Structure 1
């Protein structure tokens, strides 16, 4: 049981912890705005037009560049999409990704199923599976970066 003299110390400690949590939740920065989603790629020549959906989701055979809220999905050798997500907690650690869609096309409002295991559900160790809301989809051209560099050299 706490004595009356120790209560102010407990309250002061709680205020300190809460303010530390608020600082961490804000990214550790005061008024600075963090760039997120596709806005991180605003100057990247690989970022294409925003599209309503990506079809033939069953042909998605890979992904790259996962971070906290975006991932590039490879639908075939020639079709790539930058997918922007929300409410996703382990996208940057993803080892496998699936799409939860009612049709063969995925769009805003559908979900990515993300796991930090290559074979979720098949291992005896605990894995983290997350459902990430798709907020936007953009065309993505992996070759555009190289083409921009070549044009700059000329």
Structure 2
């Protein structure tokens, strides 16, 4: 399978005990199930081996999940540098809207949960109740809706 080939390729690279791992669109040809499993695998490898990794990707969800620092390039020049939250979260979103998106991260806080949803090239954070977050999984298709300043998240049935 594609996932097996990617894991074997990563294992071959790690046998060399590199100080730097360069991955160019490593998850591009994989289905979502395999892709999310490999995200978890790579994250464990990065942490276990304290491995610096340069990940080239156009998938915002992958970047948010796997990166500590993001460098965005536009026309060959650096346009943004920062944490995934700083680079991808739109702080100025308000008013009336309705956007389809994909769940890229679910964080449980003390009182509430925060769901990060990729909408095109931006990531919007939506505050939800714990029971709402528990019904969501990475990769779920959702609709982010607002009639004022508090967005509401609706899971779209497949």
TM range (shorter): 0.3 to 0.5
Q: TM-score, normalised by structure 1?
A: 0.32
Structure having the larger proportion of residues in strand: 2
